[in-house]
Homo-oligomer: A and B are copies of this chain.
Amino acid sequence: MAGSGRTSAEFDLAAAQQALAAQPFSRLVQARITEFGGGAATLEIDIREELQQQHGFVHGGVLSYAADNTLTFAAATALGAAIVTGGFSIQYVRPARGRTLRARAQVVQAGRRQAVCRCELTVLDEEGAESVCAVAQGTAMPLNGPAGGGGEG
């Protein structure tokens, strides 16, 4: 994650947006972070042709990117910026087609060793109607051992 030298307290939406903008792959995908704080984070991506698979649906790899990143940002609201993603699990529930992909993750529990987060992925259609396309859960861990043990800066 960010390793921005900021403490958890200073790591707010603006800082999260900066951290996201510092990820070349997130710029390639054109993801934006629209919520960050209080144990939750939301990422949005405008759906366009280059994010699709061969049938016109959003590629599973885009959904899994969104799950990975949103789970990690949610964890950062609790553990601070100096974290690494441990892994995650994702289940696709419906082909993703629409105007916007939205991933919202929440911390289930954050301790010294790791934060466990869940994520719901939805697509919004032209009228703004939202339907779930995937669910995920995963973990992130402090970069330098249990939280409080410093930061990578």
Contacts and interface: CB of A to CB of B under 8 A. Distances in A.
A145 interface: yes
A29 B29 CA distance: 10
Interface stretch (A6-14, A32-40, A112-120): A112-120
Among A87, A108, A137, find the residue whose CB has the most chain B CB atoms closer than 10 A.
Answer: A87
A62 interface: yes
Contact of A139 (B28, B52, B91, B146): B91
Nearest to A92: B87
Contact of A25 (B51, B91, B93): B51
A127 interface: no
Residue among A64, A72, A86, A112 with the highest chain B CB neighbour number at 10 A: A64
